Structure 1
């Protein structure tokens, strides 16, 4: 997930803020994908307002395919 980030960004101090009005998980099967997608979107600056359970199902399937193709290590 962090392959596209620069070494400086990974080593610099990070800050955090509590976000409001972000999508919530309505499906107990998508907690992991929601966390991964939130992190990825925050790191690259993508708006999260369009995320929903249907989109999470798409991301979850992409992660499954990536693991099966050994692009990600489980």
Structure 2
């Protein structure tokens, strides 16, 4: 798996954790975030509502295209399904 380049702030309750245990926790957090931040997970959790055409679009290709646009057209909304 590709190592990610991110800054994580990990707050620990147990001061007696070893460096190896802390590294293991950070590695597990990176693995969890890698899967949660994928485009597949994004497309499952979001949809596009187009009020111009009165449609709800859930197509993965269209969602990825909309995700990379800097500005959406008027009355087109990117909504979370939660």
The reply to whether TM is greater than 0.5 is no
Bigger strand share: 2
Bigger helix share: 1
Higher radius of gyration, 1 or 2: 2
Name the structure, 1 or 2, with higher relative contact order (CA <8 Å, separation 6+).
1
Provide TM-score, normalisation by structure 1.
Answer: 0.32
Provide TM-score, normalisation by structure 2.
Answer: 0.29
